[in-house]
Amino acid sequence: MEWKKFGKELANHFQTGVSYMIPLVTAAGLLTSIAVIFGGQNVWNQTSNIWGNLRLLGQTGLGFIPVIIAAYISFSIADRPGLAPAFIVGLVASSMGTGFLGGMLVGLLVGYLVKWLKKMPMPMNLMSVKSLIIIPFIATIVVGLILIYVVGSPIKAMTVGLTAWLKGMSGTNAVLMAALLGGMMAVDMGGPINKIAYAFGMAAFTSGGYQASTAMLMAIGIPPLGMFLATLLGGKRLYSDAEIESGRSAIVMGIVGITEGTIPFAVADPIRVIPSIIVGTSAGCAVNAFFGTVQKTALSTVMAIPFSSNWLLYTLAILIGVVVEALLVNFLKRFTKAAPAKEA
Amino acid sequence: MSKKIVAVTACIAGIAHTYMAAQNLKKYAKKEGYDIKVETQGAMGMENRLAQDEIDAADVVIFAVDTVVAEPDRFEGKPVLKVGTSEVVKDGKAAIDQAIALVN
């Protein structure tokens, strides 16, 4: 029971870190993508033109991922005093090449150490010394040295191994991973499981594992797009007026990449909608992995079409996912339920 | 006198669940005749920030969050119901009922 509670607490801290990281990833990912798409491969290592400079902005941002993860996990655990030490040690972790994993570990270590130091009893007249000097100094030196001398190298090795595994993935494994990521992205429509898959895809993206990031990003738009098609095909026979209205906003959400557009449908009829979006999204991502199409931007489903390595096959994969989802959900609604939801 | 509830909602991306949970809480609290104020801690930071006297006057606090609540010390000593945002989005009434059950 205690362990379960601790696990839930830990998940909350990770999610807080990820929530602060998301805008950083979108900004930096987009800048890097734009630079490479328009400036070609020679944008790296130069700042003589605008594309080189956009690359500089984006690359600096991506390098900051372990830092922001460390700092805000620690902030989540220990509040304000957790920030500064985790920023310092997180930046060291980043420059050691420990990646996302290193950032998470630093955040946890600094966070819990600071939290424990905060509770340590102290004479009243020394309290200001404790918050001003002792906590930042101790937390930085302890976790910093642990990182540098103990855990840094093994984590770096793990990151390198994971990256190589992701990049080298092909055939059945790649299809399975895409299907799994797709399903995870769909299952709670923007909730915690979705964000685990998101974080994984983004971690892969930053180290060049574009197969994983392509699958994850493709999955974002499929659930709402599929429900839009389903309302279009099912019409008033299967959907209430409110749901048809939601379908119209779902297509917009699908195009700009907000999985949450599916939620109204899932709330009204979870038993039929959620399995359908999981199956549809998985199918789309798996088909795309089978085609071997990748896109090297941080853009979602529809917006990434022009940047994909084969836009025809990429679009086909999206359509397959959308159609499978729409047909499945309408089939389930048609044959396991008589009428649309009661408001109709 | 009707019960007063204050709530904080926060999800991971801070764009959808946060606001849907807030809406649902307001909807069902109104239905049951309770006073409610909801602070959202979404991607835009804190919106509709709860004033300390509003928190002090409340009978019960609901945290509908997937992350941690920012500035938690404001709520020290209050009875708190903690749930995830998706539970509230799915069933707002249950969250309100559970919170009221904490103080009745």
| Mean pLDDT across chain B | 90
Copy the structure tokens of residue A41: 């491969």
Say if residue A279 is in the same domain as residue A155.
no
Mutate to test the interface with A, among B67, B74, B83 (most CBs of A within 10 A): B67
Closest partner residue to A12 among B13, B17, B68, by Cβ?
A: B68
Say if residue A157 is in the same domain as residue A178.
no
Instruction: Note whether B12 contacts A22, CB cutoff 8 Å.
Output: yes
Cβ–Cβ under 8 Å, residues A273 and A321: no
Is residue A344 in some structural domain?
no
The rounded distance, in Å, linking the Cα atoms of B2 and B59 is 10
Which of these three, A166, A189, A207, is where a domain ends?
Answer: A166
Say if residue A268 is in the same domain as residue A325.
yes
Instruction: Note whether B85 contacts A191, CB cutoff 8 Å.
Output: yes
Say if residue A101 is in the same domain as residue A160.
yes
**First-to-final CA distance of chain A:** 44
Q: What is the CA radius of gyration of chain A?
A: 23
- Say yes or no: A7 contacts chain B, CB-CB below 8 A: no
**First-to-final CA distance of chain B:** 13
Say if residue A241 is in the same domain as residue A147.
no
- Say yes or no: A195 contacts chain B, CB-CB below 8 A: yes
Closest partner residue to B89 among A15, A18, A267, by Cβ?
A: A267
pLDDT of residue B1: 60
Instruction: Note whether B68 contacts A13, CB cutoff 8 Å.
Output: yes
Regarding predicted confidence, which is higher, A199 or B9? B9
Residue closest to A315 by CA, chosen among A330, A305, A303: A305
Which of these three, A108, A132, A166, is where a domain ends?
Answer: A166
Is residue A161 in some structural domain?
yes
- Pairs of CB atoms within 8 A across A/B: 55
A168 vs chain B: nearest CA distance in angstroms?
Answer: 31
Q: Is the pLDDT of residue A1 over 70?
A: no
Q: Is the pLDDT of residue A260 over 90?
A: no
Structurally, chain A folds into a number of domains equal to: 2
Instruction: Note whether B12 contacts A18, CB cutoff 8 Å.
Output: yes
Closest partner residue to B13 among A13, A19, A263, by Cβ?
A: A19
Write the CA distances from B3 to A188, A283, B72, B103, integer angstroms. 33, 49, 22, 9
Say if residue A29 is in the same domain as residue A152.
yes
pLDDT of residue B9: 94
Helix (H, G, I), strand (E, B) or coil at B38: strand
> Max CA-CA distance within chain A?
74
Q: What angle do CA A163, A165, A169 make, to 5 degrees?
A: 120
Residue closest to A64 by CA, chosen among A202, A171, A156: A202
- Mean pLDDT over residues A253-268, rounded? 86
The rounded distance, in Å, linking the Cα atoms of A329 and A210 is 30
B-chain residues within 8 Å CB-CB of A267? 89-90
pLDDT of residue B96: 92
Q: What is the CA radius of gyration of chain B?
A: 12
Provide, rounded to the nearest whole percent, the portion of chain A with pLDDT above 90. Answer: 37
Cβ neighbours, 10 Å, residue A231: 25
Is residue A342 in some structural domain?
no
Say if residue A129 is in the same domain as residue A178.
no
Say if residue A89 is in the same domain as residue A118.
yes
Which of these three, A123, A148, A166, is where a domain ends?
Answer: A166
- Say yes or no: A60 contacts chain B, CB-CB below 8 A: no
Q: Is the pLDDT of residue A209 over 50?
A: yes
Pairing of strands B4-10, B35-42: parallel
The rounded distance, in Å, linking the Cα atoms of A297 and A257 is 14
Write the CA distances from A294 to A37, A221, A287, integer angstroms. 14, 16, 12
- Give the chain B residue whose CA is nearest to the CA of A76: B68
- Say yes or no: A269 contacts chain B, CB-CB below 8 A: no
Q: Is the pLDDT of residue A343 over 50?
A: no
- Say yes or no: A12 contacts chain B, CB-CB below 8 A: yes
Instruction: Note whether A258 contacts B16, CB cutoff 8 Å.
Output: yes
Say if residue A175 is in the same domain as residue A298.
yes
B66 vs chain A: nearest CA distance in angstroms?
Answer: 6
Say if residue A201 is in the same domain as residue A109.
no
Residue closest to A277 by CA, chosen among A257, A256, A259, A291: A259
Helix (H, G, I), strand (E, B) or coil at B34: coil
pLDDT of residue A330: 92
A26, exposed or middle or buried, with CB in 10 Å at 0-12, 13-18, 19+?
middle
Domain limits for position A142: 2-166
Q: Quote the pTM value.
A: 0.76
Closest partner residue to A192 among B12, B20, B90, by Cβ?
A: B12
Contacts of A42 (CB under 8 A, 6+ apart): none
- Mean pLDDT over residues A184-200, rounded? 85
B-chain residues within 8 Å CB-CB of A19? 10-14, 43, 67
Structurally, at CATH architecture level, domain B4-103 sits in 3-Layer(aba) Sandwich (3.40)
Q: Is the pLDDT of residue A341 over 60?
A: no
Helix (H) or strand (E) holding A243: helix A241-256
A161 φ, ψ (degrees, to nearest 5): -65, -45
Say if residue A156 is in the same domain as residue A175.
no
The rounded distance, in Å, linking the Cα atoms of A120 and A115 is 9
Regarding predicted confidence, which is higher, B96 or A206? B96
* Phi-psi domain of B82 (left: phi exceeds 0; alpha: psi -120 through 50; beta: other): beta
Say if residue A294 is in the same domain as residue A258.
yes
Copy the structure tokens of residue A261: 């557009």
Is residue A190 in some structural domain?
yes
Cβ–Cβ under 8 Å, residues A293 and A214: yes
8-state DSSP, B71: S
B68 φ, ψ (degrees, to nearest 5): -95, 155
pLDDT digits (tens, 9 = 90+) for B23-78: 999 999 999 999 999 999 988 888 899 999 999 999 999 999 988 898 888 999 99
